[in-house]
Structure 1
Amino acid sequence: MSDFKPTFSWLKSRPLCLLGFGFGSGLAPVAPGTFGTLPALPMAFVLYLIGITGWWLAALCVILFVWGIRICSHTERELGIQDYGGIVWDEIVAMLLVLAFVPFHWTWWLAAFAVFRLFDALKPWPIKWLDKRVHGGLGIMLDDAVAAGFTLVVLHIAAWVR
């Protein structure tokens, strides 16, 4: 089953997989992680408009992280493929967490997106270590949460030096 390529119609018949694939953004033929991070931006924008920001958004991210363990585990099982690149719920939740703690301005959001994608792609220690040793839904979610933490450290240092 390693040659299996999920489609949008396959996702539509599996609601948890649709979430796991970031509403279909994880189906991108190239850079699914990058495309999969994008839904976090309009989601955060709407949440900001209705007043869910800062620590409230972070608390929501904790809930989404816990749900994400189940969503990603289920999606992995349905696919029959471990840590499939199109599973991007982890990117969405991690990016929402980063956006909870940066100013509500397009330049900060662009920087947050770029720095997060850099950490997620390069996977410096301990991200790569976690990625190799923690499997299943928790493993999928955990390495991106750590990348989000690294991103916040870098952005807060940049704000401080600025």
Structure 2
Amino acid sequence: MGLWKVLQREARSGKFEVFKPQVPKRVKDKNARHPVTKKRLKKLVYMSVLCETKIPLSKLSQDILGDMWYWYVDPKTSEAVVIGKVRSESGCLVPRELIRVFEEVCFINFSVKDLEALAERYCMHTDEWMKFLASKYDKVIKFCLDYKKKMEAKDAEL
């Protein structure tokens, strides 16, 4: 059942299960008084909004993309996949998946060295949709790189 149907059903029944509207509580204000009658005014108090204050990010080992070859966006999962050249037991270079980034926010965990490696390498894509997804990852990589460089410069000044 679609979201619109759920909202219509809840509005008709008056029993909100999925989306509960916030009903304010009327409380007498300690400081505010009516200018003529001098009675205390009432104010509406809403519950505080529940939201994340810190983004939960997984810890990554730093400077792991030194042997990076290229990166691409996986068409099945829309994850950024970094491919690197790794020496096999026979001594020749073999392409191997180094890391998968499932969301753009995870790039904030990367070091400046890794972000520079990602920014200067070309993202492999096959069609327009993958090009669009790759551009999203590119923008976040460049933003994180600029932010980290500014923070390093700020720390160097202090």
TM range (shorter): 0.3 to 0.5
Give the alignment's TM-score, normalised by structure 1. 0.33
More relative contact order, 1 or 2 (CA 8 Å, 6+ apart): 1
Q: Which has the larger radius of gyration?
A: 2
Structure holding more helix per residue: 1
Structure holding more strand per residue: 2
